Amino acid sequence: MAARITRQVRRKQPISVNIDGEASRAYAGETVASVLLAAGVTVFYRTRSGQPRGPYCNMGACFECQVKIDGDWQRACMTVVEDGMNITTGARKSAP
Query: Using the rule CB under 6 A, which residue among 17, 41, 67, 77 binds ligand FES?
Result: 77
Could you give the CA distance from residue 90 to residue 52 in angstroms, rounded to a whole number?
7
Could you give the CA distance from residue 42 to residue 77 in angstroms, rounded to a whole number?
13
Q: How far is the CB of 39 from ligand FES (least distance, A)?
A: 17
Q: How far is the CB of 16 from ligand FES (least distance, A)?
A: 23
Q: How far is the CB of 45 from ligand FES (least distance, A)?
A: 11
Could you give the CA distance from residue 22 to residue 25 in angstroms, rounded to a whole number?
10
- Contacts with ligand FES in 7-26 (CB under 6 A)? none
- Contacts with ligand FES in 39-58 (CB under 6 A)? 55-58
Q: Is residue 69 a contact point for ligand FES (CB under 6 A)?
A: no
Query: Using the rule CB under 6 A, which residue among 20, 42, 53, 64 binds ligand FES?
Result: 64
Q: How far is the CB of 32 from ligand FES (least distance, A)?
A: 10
The CA–CA distances, whole Å, from 51 to 21, 32, 46, 90, 93 equal 22, 21, 5, 10, 9
Could you give the CA distance from residue 55 to residue 58 in angstroms, rounded to a whole number?
6
